[in-house]
Structure 1
């Protein structure tokens, strides 16, 4: 190496630490300038660290013969024994099947509902009527499933339920919405949509509010009808929001709604309503088989993660930004 090249290389090496110091200084200045924003973000970060990231250490229980007296560190390693046991059980595959079926039903029938309602409300010009409808459909979201479960039982009971009383008044036979395996999944999906679709419309209403009105004015000048404005202006401009929510929903496909099902189901409908979360609850807390429950939970989380990555990849192939 020549003397000139050596001197140039030494100068570059000397400049690197100084550059790093300047970059670090700029980063600290940026953080300090936005300190109030970071302060507002801190509670959410602390919440996720404590309740979502710290408990991840407990996943090691799935690979141990966990004993309460020995603790997580003191328990003996079991390797993949618990996973092999699960995969050999017909009950495990049944709860997997129930979880997927219920989640797919909720996705097919529940995902489009808030989009349709938001698009309809966006076309309403009477503000009082629009606000009244929004308030009415939002309300069920703030009611817990424990209360809604009691309401559904009073509405759908085969003995004195309001719906079945109407059916009997017209000479029909009472339908076991809550007790018949044929109708129970439909009852779950319908009640979920009833509770959550109004709240989910907030996201799409916010996206619709961000569409520049000049685009609609230009479409009207070009002679576009309402239906054409919907197809060529509204939907394309909220497409990214729809795909983002869809990715998140696909990433949670193994989450079929523990609280709802736990409140509404009973042993008579276990064959169609027992999902992964309720199965984990029974074998983990009721039977005390913590290692098996941890193995089920870890398997579910791995499937959700894989689906999230796949959905995000497909979104990027479609030209959308995705979630990362």
Structure 2
């Protein structure tokens, strides 16, 4: 049996246990894999991490419920806790130290699993790891760096709407003299936003991050650097004005949808709440795209949303009315208007039929 076959077999065992909520079976499967000569690092990176990624994909495709998604994530967290206490993990922790690293999620980022897996891999590689968990406020992170004098900080984020916060955190960490490695889907499929925001290194996954750190110390950041210097396009103030008016934009789009679509008068509170949440997400991702000046960020979000809606029986073109109304409210903002045009084109490409169905309509 090849390594790929072994990994696949253990993934299926862990997946079955996790999605059914059986933490004992999941833990037993993980420990059995170690007993059959699968290394702890391979188990973390080739089994646990892919299973957790599958949890997200299955929810997106509407093949598991939100409750099952939460359950599977909780089970995988318990598996990680059990693996962290395994003798091989303890042995690595007692060996020579490669350095000290703080691993944290950006403030507002609650997807902590990638950071937790990275922490365990780095411990196996000999690092002293300060795992600071999800939603780490930047001021407290900086206090930790001053107190501990970590050699490097690794920041994780899966949600692109946290990129402005990530930028502030990167700059603040570097101001302490600490180099910053970043990772996670928020930084783009090729790490483009990591480079744009001035991170000292980017890694697409845990093994790449560990390998980069093993290759030698990251370059020390400049003594002084202002975050605004990285993004001269922000001088037009579009990001600032749109982000400050986000709540009012959501209210205006909701009012416009209600005026345009009489059927919304019969929406249940739950349907109305879902519609408002979808509109808020559109505004949030538009704002993030303005921050990094990349229409593809907005387009990727809308393509993903179109897929999520379609999997639930809601036509992708149901996004168009909200985009059209939002575009009308922002017609005096050239960059925002261009982003919305790109977004409309993305949605039409995903679902070419014409419709006036509202965002997250009555089928929800």
Q: Place the TM-score, normalised by the shorter chain, in its bin.
A: under 0.3
Structure whose residues are more often helix by fraction: 1
- TM-score (ref. length: structure 1): 0.24
- TM-score calculated relative to the size of structure 2: 0.22
Query: Higher Cα Rg: structure 1 or 2?
Result: 1
Q: Which has the higher contact order (CA 8 A, sep 6+)?
A: 1
Greater share of strand: 2
